[in-house]
Homo-oligomer: A and B are copies of this chain.
Amino acid sequence: MADGRSSSAQSGENLLFLTDEQLRQGIEAMFFAYRGFTADPDRILSDMAYGRAHHRAVHFINRAPGTTVNNLLNILGVTKQSLNRVLRTLIEDGLVESKVGKADKRERHLFLTTEGQALEQKLSDAQRARIRMAFRDAGPEAVAGFRTVLEAMMDRDMRTAYARLKDSGT
């Protein structure tokens, strides 16, 4: 585990894709790609008073309208103080509406206003355009592999959250 070539070679099979060198390339690819992944929305947001955290909130509220604060907290994996700061500004600016729950009045259900939907569209369009191009260039098999690997590197909690969103989206 210390020679830097631990996980490769000497295994009859074709495990060359598990070389430390290959892993490191995967790590660096992930690093560089994530920058591209966020670059377009970031550019749009930097002109406004919002940041990446607002984008994430708006994205998931749009994805699951009526979601509760607690649910959003779990998906985003941040503290309620951190989320609250973001939500407050979004509500003040009229992009998000917070409705008291009917069944359980402690809960707040979150919705995008028309204006909020407009922002979500704008950000999504920019991000999707890049991903669409990347997907198209890479082809369907590559995309399937991409998704498989990403799913395999999620934490358990994230994987279930991801699966729940995925299933609800049909």
| Chain A interface (Cβ < 8 Å from any Cβ of B) | 1-2, 7, 14, 17-18, 20-37, 39, 56, 63, 77, 121, 124-125, 127-128, 130-155, 158-159, 161-162, 165-166, 169-170
Contact = CB atoms under 8 A, between A and B. Distances in A.
B146 A26 contact: yes
A135 B37 CA distance: 21
B144 A7 contact: no
B134 A149 contact: yes
Given A140-B17, A145-B141, A150-B146, A135 B32 contact: no
Contacts of A1: 125
A169 B36 contact: no
Given A7-B132, A128-B24, A148 B153 contact: no
B166 A138 contact: no
Interface SS of chain A: helix, strand, loop or mixed? helix
Candidate in A2, A30, A39, A130 with the most chain B CB atoms within 10 angstroms? A30
A32 B146 CA distance: 13
Nearest to A56: B31
A43 to B, nearest CB: 11
Given A30-B37, A33-B154, A155-B36, A143 B149 contact: yes
Contacts of A34: 30, 34
A18 B132 contact: yes
A153 B144 CA distance: 15
Contact of A152 (B7, B138, B154, B161): B138
